[in-house]
Chain A
Amino acid sequence: MTKTEWVGADVIRIDAKDKVRGVLKYMSDLSFPNMIYGAVLRSKHPHALIKKINTKRAKELDGVVTVLTHEDVPGLNGFGIAIPDQPVLCSDKVRYMGDAIALVGAESKEIAERALELIEVEYQPLPVVCDPEQAMLSSSPKVHETGNLHNHVKIERGNVEAAFKEAQVVVENTYFTPRQMHAFLEPESGVAAIDEDKNITIWCGGQHPYRDQLQVARALGMNPRKIRIVNTPTGGAFGGKDEITVQIHLALLVLHTGRPAKIVLSREESVIAGMKRHPMRIHMKTAAAADGTILANEARVVSDTGAYASLGGPVIGFAIEHSCGAYRVENVKLEGFCVYTNNGVAGAFRGFGANQVTFAVETQLDMIAEKLGMDKLEIRKRNALRSGDIAALGHQMEASVGLLRTLEAAENSRLWQLKEEFKAKPSAPHKKRGIGIACSFQGCGLGKGLPDYGAASVELLPNGQFAIGVSCPEIGQGNTTAFAQMAADYIRCSVDDIVVLSGDTGHTLDSGTSTASRSIYTGGNALKHAVQNLHNAISPIAAEILCVPEDDISFGHGKIVSKSCPDKILSFKDIAEYITARGLSIKSEGHFIWPVSETELEGYVGIPHLLYSYITQIALVEVNTLTGETEVIEAVSVPDPGKAINPQGVEGQSEGGVVMGMGYALTEDTIIKEGMTLTRNFSTYILPTSLDMPCKIETIIAEELEPSGPFGAKGIGEAVCVPISPAITNAIHDAVKVWIKQIPATPERVYTALKSREVS
């Protein structure tokens, strides 16, 4: 591969200046003349039949423009990425407190909210389904007529029973994980407008504009081409804006009123109505030989998807795929259940089911290491997947596998090398320090059976610059900057001459989602093909101008040069001026379809994956034995992203991921009792603040280049937040000898565990 000029460099984010100065307009910052404000009437019960909806009084309120109910949904009254089981506006039943029943459009936000209070809804409350285990019993009330079990995954290989009998060590435990919230700074919000031909444009944070377009079209019964979706810039998503948020409601308001409309959810509404991470109950039994080799793993995973499916089905599949960690395990018995309840809604969230099972399996591994007297890093090295190995689902690791590389870099880190010194100096005698390590892998792309495709465009602009288009939205992860860097190196121009179009069905080709750690790999590969086509379009023109044969043309450093006469040089601007003068333009496209694993699991889609990113993370904690408080003092994060297109961007992802995974391990949980959300704001939903961050997070990038990736890149957006959680809980064990089996490890839980250890 030729040396890159921009890829691998810490190019400043193209959106940095506008974001830092507060100039950048997010969707909720947009306003239009004559715009109305929307507000959504949410359910008053977690589970109830709707007997009657009366909007008369609300409609009569001065300043109210429209009040819409299920009767006003022209197309399918439902949405959902996998199955449309969530009503746009409920007609006969509500299944959680966030269910939408009516939609008000008014001259002001305050009037809209006042109108909500005037809508009369008659409910007949139903028993609340709040325990996923009980929900699976035939005696349970049904959340959906089809039954409460939404998806069931079962994978068996080898013979676990025989392995359990011959094993030196068997550990068996039940783990519980919380309902983490994405907590993006920008709540679900957007604006929409409609023109005289009933073309609708929706500006709304999201993660896949082309799928939003289809979901809106389906609910409106409209041709998708009449709907334009703009997702960039999105003020944080983390998976929580993968599903429809307010897009359909916005479309309904503009369709029925002809006026522009805006909806901004309050934080409380976002907490109650928005997506969360699936809480899971994981029972795991793991066996190992005397040398630490994992012989078998059995897991039963019950996932609470709440009232609607969204991506709950794929999430449980993904969890099962990752439930043996990034390790070789020959005998597996893995079973997953995705269950409906009245507990909010759960869907995609950075990690996509890996976080929950990684917490379990990485704790199991530490328990085994302790029983065998083995080093915690050594046991991971022994079992680590290598290229060509067969992974838990029976599929071969065909792509680049960087786990060992990350483990070796972690081993050489200052924190690991000096761990005994760090542990020996707690800040007070009643505080104890410990070090924990954990690994994980993260499937990139949508997996087997779900063709994962992408497209990109490149256009030579009249001024000699290039406009590149990739529709994967910029959700804060920095993909637009990475696209610019890759395009500049493919084109052989300056990154400053690249203009990036992103996340807009009106101006970019469908490149799929900004999810699944896939946008760099997809966008990069599509750009590579687009640039090949661009060069093929420029070459004959350059040849014509320079009077040389077409195959004599080469591209380098912002120039087009004749190979035989190196003094014959053109700039891209020369080409642009030449074609502009002749009324021509050059715009090319590139298309890309992901390679997939050769293994097919009959009856399942989305698993297994072909490509994985790998990561090892280490945490140093200090536990206060008088209060149970845990402080993460330092962390080391060693991701294998393939080629780091922008190392600073990878570091940013890594540091943000560590803190998100720390919140998951220590403080964050959306507590729902009897279907009611108790933690409705950031005063009770405990996100880490800047003071809670580790004093130091060291990121060591361990690149294991992926031959199929653009410049060798894979993806890293998700893996960075996964193993840090069990690294922290393993560190708590190292410090105070209690195993954390339920996260978040709040001070009260840690203290209670400490006390029960003393008692027993």
Chain B
Amino acid sequence: MTRLHVAIPESIDEALGLLGKWGREAAVIAGGTDLVVELKDRLKSPKALIDIGRVPEISGIRETEGGDVWIGALSTHAEVASSTVVKETAPVLADACAQVGSPQIRNRGTIGGNISTASPAGDTIPALYVLEASVEIIGPKGKRVVPIESFFQGPKKSALAFDEIVLGVKVPKLGKEYVSFFRKLGQRKSLAISIVSVAFAGRCQEPGLFTDVRIAFGAVAPTVVRARTVEKAICNMKLDPKSAQYISKLAFRDCVPITDVRGSQGYREVMACNLLYEGLLEMGRVRKA
């Protein structure tokens, strides 16, 4: 039987050293909610597991000197969902984290893992897109910062090299005048993989009037996507329920979904539009007609 080596580094340098040693034969594990399933299904068969769960440099949630929120890669979904600073300055991310999987998964799974896995249906990612977050990565050549949209390259493909580790994400705070929401359509209320998910953020200085609108969809393209067509259409326009419904129909312009066991391409396209519309309606910011 092949042996699986498990290493538990105590620092980021030690972790990088181990990654350098094992190279592509290693798999980095934190919460393990994705990796353990892949190991069980033999989709991956690494020779070594590097458990970064005790690396101090990548844990914690704090405000940076530059006024951003830094969320360490090891932060669990439950921690992010209940973090006061996240709830106050990036509520869309707290909402998204609260809808991941189930309590057990939210207690194990980490935001770094959700990013590194690079699933187009990862629930935290649309929120990070509309927050225009950036991913901090460390590797043998040192640190680099990658804007969230450049990080994802395809289903399960990202800018992360095999010898690199995600340190954390840097999230610019949303100002007080911003409103946001996260909506997810799943096959059931818990333990559901998104059929479609949507995150929205926009500056709203008077009811129904939005500027700096950012909208991102999950599970409708090879990566999470920004829906720039509909973003532009919403900006500087007075929204009432009727126009919101009309404008939401532009959402599909930036979606190229596929048909799978969870939903058809056609349904996903329409749901992208309807979830956005429903979110706008329920946000209560749409001007009454």
Contact = CB atoms under 8 A, between A and B. Distances in A.
Determine direct contact between A and B, CB below 8 Å.
yes
Interface of A: 110-111, 114, 428, 430, 624, 626-627, 629, 667, 671, 678-679, 682-684, 686-692, 746-748, 751-752
B187 A428 contact: no
Interface string B186-205: 01111111010000000000
Interface string B37-64: 0000000000000000000000000000
7 contacts: A624-B278, A627-B274, A689-B189, A746-B187, A748-B195, A748-B263, A751-B271
A747 B262 CA distance: 10
A624 B189 CA distance: 14
A689 B102 contact: yes
A305 to B, nearest CB: 24
- Tell which of A629, A678, A679, A686 has the most Cβ of chain B within 10 Å: A686
Contacts of A684: 261-262
A671 B261 CA distance: 8
Contacts of A682: 191
B264 interface: yes
Contact of B188 (A111, A627, A688, A748): A688
Nearest to B2: A114
B190 A751 contact: no
A687 B187 CA distance: 9
Contacts of A629: 185
Contacts of A114: 1
Contacts of A111: 1
Main secondary structure of the interface of B (DSSP, over half): loop
B267 A752 contact: yes
- Tell which of A114, A626, A679 has the most Cβ of chain B within 10 Å: A626
B106 to A, nearest CB: 13
Main secondary structure of the interface of A (DSSP, over half): loop
A667 B190 CA distance: 13
Contact of A430 (B185, B261, B281): B281
A692 B187 CA distance: 10
A629 B102 CA distance: 19
A265 to B, nearest CB: 14
B264 A748 contact: yes
Nearest to B281: A430
Contacts of B281: 428, 430
A689 B188 contact: yes
A430 B282 CA distance: 10
Given A111-B1, A748-B263, A751-B267, A686 B274 contact: no
B97 to A, nearest CB: 17
Contact of B190 (A430, A678, A689): A689
B187 A751 contact: no
B277 interface: yes
Contact of B189 (A110, A691, A746): A691
A691 B187 CA distance: 12
Contacts of B282: 428
Contact of A686 (B188, B267, B275): B188
Interchain residue pairs A-B with the least CB separation, the first 6: A691-B189, A626-B274, A691-B190, A689-B190, A686-B187, A748-B267
Contacts of B271: 627, 751
Contacts of A691: 188-190
B8 interface: no
Contacts of A627: 185, 271, 274-275, 278
B278 A692 contact: no
B185 A692 contact: no
B192 to A, nearest CB: 8
B195 to A, nearest CB: 8
- Tell which of A627, A671, A682, A683 has the most Cβ of chain B within 10 Å: A627
Interface string B248-289: 000000000000011110010011001101100110000000
Contact of B187 (A624, A667, A690, A752): A667
Given A430-B281, A626-B277, A667 B262 contact: no
A678 B188 CA distance: 18
- Tell which of B261, B270, B281 has the most Cβ of chain A within 10 Å: B261
A679 B189 contact: no
Contact of A110 (B1, B261, B262, B277): B1
A689 B261 contact: no
Contacts of B263: 748
B278 A430 contact: yes
A624 B186 CA distance: 13
Contacts of B187: 667, 686, 746-747
Given A114-B1, A626-B278, A747 B185 contact: yes
Contact of A692 (B188, B261, B277): B188
Contacts of B261: 671, 678-679, 684
A607 B54 CA distance: 65
Contacts of B195: 747-748
A690 B102 CA distance: 11
Contacts of A748: 195, 263-264, 267
B122 to A, nearest CB: 14
Given A686-B187, A748-B263, A752-B267, 7 more contacts: A110-B1, A624-B278, A626-B277, A679-B261, A686-B188, A691-B190, A747-B195
A678 B278 CA distance: 31
